[in-house]
Structure 1
Amino acid sequence: MNTTAIPVARLASVVKRYGALTAVDGLDLMLHRGELLALLGPNGAGKSTAISLLLGLVRADAGQVELFGQDPQQIVARRRIGVMLQSATLPPTLRVGELIRLTASYYPAPRSVQESAALAGVTDLLRRPYAKLSGGQQRRVQFALALCGRPELLFLDEPTVGMDIEARQKLWAAIRHLIAEGCSVVLTTHYLEEAEVLADRVCVMARGKIISEGTVDQLRARVALKRVRCITRLDPAAVSAWPEVAEARREGERLWLSTDSAEALVRRLLDADAQLSELEVQRAGLAEAFTELTREADASADPQREAA
């Protein structure tokens, strides 16, 4: 059997209900080795339920759920994963080094405490009691616990909440290192910049279903809007009335515009202000693509249904 062809994780036509509430609705999802999949969606889209299904924490009502080609509740499959959930309750009096050593003992071939600490950026915290750490430091320790077992698949649920910019960027670098080693990652995040810089593939969820899937560039290309920025004396209120302009606002000395007719707008701006300078045109970012995709899903939604 060619094990490299087996998906690391798979959901096939999966349905999960909680009473009258359908949390995931015919969900299809597949993850391959060495891939970072960003799972995005508004609150209640079904992301947490999808992860719980893959972790074997809940059972599907219909469809197939596989982890390394096996039932997610099989211990042999679970020993190959690492998990960092949104919240974690850990023994407050244990020191960081003790927590890593304890967690590593559950795995057959774990990293050393020093290697795990170095990857997660917590080497300087090893002798500190967990309860004495800041929220951002605790998140970094939780990341160390998730990777210490040398997982082949890592689940990261909002991993950088509470971290400052420097700590967030260090964690991104560690994630890239793990992917380069062949680890697969499922990432959920509300920081769309995080998905934009890390993801090989993005799945946008709404109402328990995948509504769009592809690379970051593919998702951005589905949004016609572009952003135009310039320094100009033109009044934003007057410019916002132009038919080429979807939105206009001033930030400092710069005018920011959204448009689906960038070429026509640029020509009109140059005609209207000969002194215009520092003109920039950018395609939509992942944030705009996400907003547009979820807006379309909301527009077609049944108002009676809620998702989990």
Structure 2
Amino acid sequence: MKTAIQLTGVSKIFKGKPAVDNLSLTIQEGTVVALLGPNGAGKTTTVSMILGLQQPTKGTVKLLGGDPREQKVRNRIGAMLQDVSVIDGLKVSESINLFRSYYEKPLTLDYLLKVSNLENEKDKIASSLSGGQQRRLGFALALAGDPEVIFLDEPTVGMDVTSRQLFWDTVRAMAGRGRTIVLTTHYLDEADSVADRIVVINNGKLIADGTPSEIKANTTGRIISFIAGESVTTEKLLALPCVTDIEWSGRKVKLSSSNTDQLIVALIEKRFEMRDIEIQSGGLEDAFQALVHQTK
């Protein structure tokens, strides 16, 4: 597989403080990568440098083998950023056609209206759209040139359930056609279901990189949950082997463990009062929170 994005020792310093700190990252063509991190972690700065909107203080950024600022590279990418700007006075269809005119082989207007779920709004003035509809228009504009690499920054904020489902169906279809997709999102369930690869950064540094399954397995282990009787206390649970975290919700308790086999044996041997026992892998949100907590 060819390399779509290459960051080598990239740092970006603002007022003496690194927003991105010696970040190296390679993304292959045809993959869906979720770039995750808490607010202020350096995600947006990283994406801005990949797009050529900001220049690194040190290190190099290659996009599709070239400089992100080169026109020939820009013609092959699309971006949907957090801040959506619409052109005053233009209808939705006119806005999309304007962007289509910038490219040699654009996608059709009908297709772009369909995948952005804006067919019924095509004759509306773009500035009159709701926030969620403007996000969808931003998606149509990002796809106008049939890009090889697409950047999606918090793309589904403000979208309703139907539009969100259509959006991710479109993203999956594009990935199936060999497009490279880099996304940031606070909806970790979406990242878990869509991304081939999860990259987590905090304080400008890379702290985790792998498939969703690898991230979850390496970080959270597995979880035993059950309804606990009145005799079960946090102190008693902490005395059990392999318990790494405890979370209560009423009388339901979730035990994170590095060895659930050993833990379940101990719970039974010590005759803990419990019912409705479940054993499951930790979710991506659990893994994310654990990673961020470890690197504070």
Cα distance in 1 between the residues matched to 2:20 and 2:249:
41
Q: Which residue of 2 aligns with 1:12?
A: 8
Q: Which residue of 1 aligns with 2:253?
A: 256
Q: Which gives a bigger RCO, structure 1 or 2 (Cα 8 Å, sep 6+)?
A: 1
Cα distance in 2 between the residues matched to 1:77 and 1:228:
49
2:219 match: secondary structure? coil
Q: Which residue of 2 aligns with 1:247?
A: 246
Cα distance in 2 between the residues matched to 1:136 and 1:241:
48
Letter in 2 for 1:194: E
Identify the range of structure 1 (46-55 vs 234-243) with the bigger mean alpha-carbon deviation: 234-243
After superposition, give the CA deviation of every residue in 1:37-61 in whole Å (9 maximum; x if it has no partner): 1111111111111111111111112
2:58 is equivalent to residue 78 of structure 1: no
Q: Quote the offset at 1:210 in angstroms.
A: 0.8
Q: Quote the offset at 1:231 in angstroms.
A: 4.3
1:195 match: secondary structure? helix
Q: Quote the offset at 1:102 in angstroms.
A: 0.6
Letter in 1 for 2:61: V
2:293 is equivalent to residue 295 of structure 1: yes
Give me the TM-score of the superposition, normalised by structure 2. 0.91
Cα distance in 1 between the residues matched to 2:10 and 2:202:
15
2:21 is equivalent to residue 25 of structure 1: yes
Cα distance in 1 between the residues matched to 2:220 and 2:188:
19
* Distance verdict in 2 for CA 1:167–1:149, change over 3 Å: same
Identify the range of structure 1 (17-26 vs 155-164) with the bigger mean alpha-carbon deviation: 17-26
Q: Quote the offset at 1:100 in angstroms.
A: 0.6
Identify the range of structure 1 (259-268 vs 21-30) with the bigger mean alpha-carbon deviation: 259-268
Cα distance in 2 between the residues matched to 1:70 and 1:142:
25
1:119-134 aligned within 5 A: 119-134=115-130
Q: CA RMSD in A?
A: 2.0
Q: Which residue of 2 aligns with 1:305?
A: none
2:201 match: secondary structure? strand
What is the percent sequence identity of the aligned residues? 37
Give me the TM-score of the superposition, normalised by structure 1. 0.88
After superposition, give the CA deviation of every residue in 1:208-238 in whole Å (9 maximum; x if it has no partner): 1111111111111112443223345x13862
- For the 8 Å contact 1:14–1:26, the answer to whether it is kept is yes
Cα distance in 1 between the residues matched to 2:226 and 2:166:
33
Letter in 1 for 2:256: T
1:12 match: secondary structure? strand
- For the 8 Å contact 1:239–1:248, the answer to whether it is kept is no
Residue 132 of structure 2: which of 136, 139, 142 is its match?
136
- For the 8 Å contact 1:225–1:258, the answer to whether it is kept is no
Cα distance in 2 between the residues matched to 1:53 and 1:160:
22
1:242 match: secondary structure? helix
Cα distance in 2 between the residues matched to 1:79 and 1:186:
17
2:36 is equivalent to residue 40 of structure 1: yes
Letter in 2 for 1:32: Q
2:248 match: secondary structure? strand
Q: Which residue of 1 aligns with 2:155?
A: 159
- For the 8 Å contact 1:259–1:265, the answer to whether it is kept is no
Q: Quote the offset at 1:266 in angstroms.
A: 3.3
Letter in 1 for 2:209: E
1:78-97 aligned within 5 A: 78-97=74-93
Q: Quote the offset at 1:168 in angstroms.
A: 1.5
Cα distance in 2 between the residues matched to 1:272 and 1:201:
39
Identify the range of structure 1 (237-246 vs 113-122) with the bigger mean alpha-carbon deviation: 237-246
1:115 match: secondary structure? helix
